[in-house]
Structure 1
Amino acid sequence: MDFKDYYQALGVERTASEEDIRKAYRKLARKYHPDVSKEPDADQRMREINEANDVLRDKEKRAAYDALAAQVAQGRHAGGRPGEGFHPPPGWDEGFEFHRGPGQGPADHADFSEFFSSLFGAAERRGAQRRQYRARGEDHHAAIEIALEDAIRGGEREITLRSQVLDDAGPPRWETRTLSVKIPPGVHPGQYIRLAGQGMPGHGGEPAGDLYLEVRIAPHRLYRIENRDLYMTLPVTPSEAALGAQVQVPTPGGGVVEVKVPPNARNGLKLRLKERGLAGHPPGDLYLLLEIALPPADTAAARKAYEQLAQAAPFDPRRHLGV
């Protein structure tokens, strides 16, 4: 039984990243897959590629294999020379917990070589006995963009998700699914909505993983979000800013409130409406940023009004410039 160089089988360096290994496997799988390949040794090459990929894509198996390869390179295996009469040294795999590959039973290595089985068969059997062939499915993550009104009042949305499925038998493929999502009232950006059991399926009767949706709130025509606080630009006329006024303001949750603009209000003045932002502990506030809007001087009456204002209230906004 010869020592197998899995890096050579995939045509990658020993320092190859996970992405390098993934790309090399996909490229070779497309070339040697028995369904499409015309190479005379396609079946054998595909088995070798699958075996190498099964080891190098799994962090624990790769670490164990690299440790053993280092021993082989130093002539510390039983045969004395790399690749000749190879037998893994006793206890070589201590400290490694191996995980089952897709579609592969814990002790089912029929499609792999004797070398693979001698290395990983006993280790996987010991690990499987400890786990009793049971494993919860992995959690998945995605993002969901919702309207501000849905974040405040709650609602229901349908989302379509695409995920890439990679198995040992061929090139990767895309799977699409549509889910109905209930949005609880008061969610805020960065919060997660958990969909129980919508992650990867479990093994050995264990439950599936969960799907976590990161909440993102779509831009709104009126309000800007900062954490749980909301900001809105509130236009006021020069007379409202100078004399003070009561103005009506729409609120994010629906409805209208009356807000007092103080006399001599300046442009950019911030007014706070307590707890009118997003829900939370504590809830956010709604801030109104005053913006003085000038009436256009597009009629004779408007121009005359501006002339009278200039005469009645002389004002130099550039006096601080010293010119």
Structure 2
Amino acid sequence: MQYKDYYKTLGVSRTASQEEIKRTYRKLARKYHPDVSKEPNAEARFKEINEANEVLKDAEKRATYDALGSNWRAGEDFRPPPGADGWRNFDFNTGGASGEYSDFFSSIFGRAFRSEGRGPGRQRGQDQTITIAIELEDSHQGATRQLKLDLPETGPNGQSTTRSRTLNVRIPAGVIQGRQIRLTGQGAPGRHGGPAGDLYLEIEFKPHRLFTPDGRDIQLRLPVAPWEAALGATVQVPTLGGSVNLKIPPGSQSGRKLRLKGRGLPGTPPGDEIVQLEIVIPPAETEAAREFYQRMAEQLPFDPRARLGV
């Protein structure tokens, strides 16, 4: 039988934290799930990823695996060391019969799958992760949304199928892009009477007509007239909580950034709204406008390229 390098399978170092292992597993599971992946080897890779995660996500199982030593290489011929039978006393939380795991896995942990020859015991369903798109306003105010989801799962015959679900989901105020909402017991069903896994909803923001999110901060490009930028002005600015007044300092240039403290997404502390000025030039579409620009050119000698030395 061949040695399995579970760290290599997940693409993490042997010193990776549990949080890094969890994050990497979820990313790979989404990429290679047979129901959604376009990769030619998706099903095989998905099984390998699940097996590696089954061991490395649990501190005790990981310690048992690490006890084999770090000198082994993936694919090398492997024989369990003396006394390995004493290691096979674990409970497993993911679904799947023992046949879904490699001989290498079963040689170390396999006894847990059977109880004195009576077949597999209670097994918890797999956790599932999907991405949902919400409005920025949902995060700013908090919201409850009804979501219709098509979730992949394995049927009684072992074949992949899709389960349609309608869930009422509470979106907490201040959730940011990339964060996950956990729905306990809403993942894949368990086997042999085991509990269902959890469903993780990964947040993604829909494009907004005004704002661009950056963590808890939001960014806004604010058009201003040349005289507002040159002389200074107080103008109204949209925020997620309604319009507020913003003071533009005299002599402002395009690209200058002003900060509206606490006007981003809620949190501890709340985010800010970053306002970037964009000077908009009035069009010279009439004779009067052209004459005005001509007077400016004559009365306000100004070379915008002076610093270029040309």
Band the TM-score falls in, shorter-chain normalisation: 0.5 to 0.7
Matched, 1:215 2:186: no
Q: How far 1:245 sits from its partner (Å)? A: 0.9
Label 1:181 to 1:128 Cα distance change in 2 as closer, same or farther (>3 A): farther
Please provide the CA RMSD for this pair. 4.2
* 1:82-101 matched pairs, under 5 angstroms: 93-96=85-88, 97=90
Inter-CA distance 154–128: structure 2 relative to 1 (3 Å threshold): farther
Partner-residue secondary structure (3-state), 1:125? coil
1:276 and 1:285 in contact (8 A); partners too:
yes
**CA shift in 2, pair 1:127/1:266, >3 Å:** farther
> Normalization by structure 1: what TM-score?
0.61
**Partner residue of 1:229?**
217
1:308 aligns with 2:308: no
1:95-110 aligned within 5 A: 95-96=87-88, 97=90
SS of 2:289 mapped into structure 1? helix
Counterpart of 2:114 in 1: which secondary structure?
A: helix
Change (3 A) 1:273 1:126: farther
CA contact 2:91–2:112 (8 Å) conserved in 1: no
1:161 aligns with 2:149: yes
Structure 1 CA distance, aligned partners of 2:245 and 2:95? Answer: 62
Query: 1-side partners of 2:267 and 2:184: how far apart?
Result: 23
Name 1:193's counterpart in structure 2: 181
Counterpart contact for 1:198–1:211, Cα < 8 Å: yes
Larger-Rg structure:
1
Letter in 2 for 1:179: L
The aligned amino acid for 1:303 is R
The residue type equivalent to 1:275 in the other structure is G
Q: SS at 2:115's partner residue? A: helix
Matched residue, 1:42: none
Choose the corresponding residue for 1:265, options 252, 259, 271: 252
Aligned to 1:79: none
The AA in structure 1 aligned to 2:87 is G
Residue identity matched to 1:318: R
**Could you tell me the TM-score, scaled by structure 2's length?**
0.64
Deviation at 1:190, TM superposition (A): 1.9
C-alpha distance in 2 between matches for 1:251 and 1:103: 50
Q: CA deviation at 1:298?
A: 0.3
> Quick one: distance in 2 between partners of 1:308 and 1:301?
11
- How far off its partner does 1:314 sit? 0.8
Q: Post-superposition shift, 1:238?
A: 0.7
Structure 2 CA distance for partners of 1:100 and 1:136, relative to 1, 3 Å: closer
1:137, 1:242 → 2: CA distance? 64
- Identity over aligned residues, as a percent? 45
Aligned pairs, number: 240
User: 1:273, CA displacement in angstroms?
Assistant: 0.6
| Residue 142 of structure 1: how far off its partner (Å) | 1.4
